[in-house]
Amino acid sequence: MIPTIYRRAAQLATISLSLSVMLIACDDDEVDTSTAQVAQAAQAVAEQAAAPTAEAGETLPTTTAPMALNQGESQIPATITVPTGCTTFNDSPTTIRIDHGEHGESFGVQVQEGNEFNTNHAEFAGDLRRNQYGNVNEILVEDETLLLWKAGREDSDFESHNFRLIVVLAGKQWVCSQGNNGGWTREQADRQIEACRTLAAL
């Protein structure tokens, strides 16, 4: 999975190299014209690269459908209602990812078996508030079932809205959290939480 910022950097590097080759290839008597053309092309590319990308949530289909999570090697006896076109990936028999988009960039949730660590919101929220190792976290919602926080870094503008939602299925606790891609907006996180709330036992 390649974050958008790295793909854009690679794109700009490729463009820069191409422009350099074009300049070198120009004959002396064509330098003025070719340089102007290259400059125009460079400006167009820079404007395109600088333009804000559409919010991932805007590219999601408006239709949803229930998806069974006991497929493949998964042993999760539940369904979840997610945007149509989502795919699943089994990390383990009791952990599954549901993604939409080429790299799960437009939507993503993960469902895993609850344990003493991932269901203890109070302890985990306390760890987040310590803001250790350059992390900057802001708790937005904290209750017995939902922990939602904004995560960032001191040395970066990057931020992501992350969450843990505890769901009880047939008397057993499961934890639904954001997808692995990261960089989620509050709007995207809210939609993921909404999907997590549709988890139902088979």
CATH number for the domain harbouring residue 114: 3.40.1000
| Same domain, yes or no: 42 and 61 | no
pLDDT the model gives residue 200: 97
Number of domains in the chain: 2
pLDDT the model gives residue 50: 40
Q: Is the pLDDT of residue 24 over 50?
A: no
- What is the tens place of the pLDDT at every residue in 32-86? 545 455 345 445 434 433 433 334 344 789 999 999 999 888 999 999 999 999 9
pTM of the model: 0.70
| Same domain, yes or no: 64 and 122 | yes
Whole-number Å distance between alpha carbons of 39 and 119: 56
| Same domain, yes or no: 145 and 117 | yes
CA 22 from chain center: how many Å? Answer: 37
- The mean per-residue pLDDT over the stretch 138-144 comes to 96
| Same domain, yes or no: 25 and 93 | no
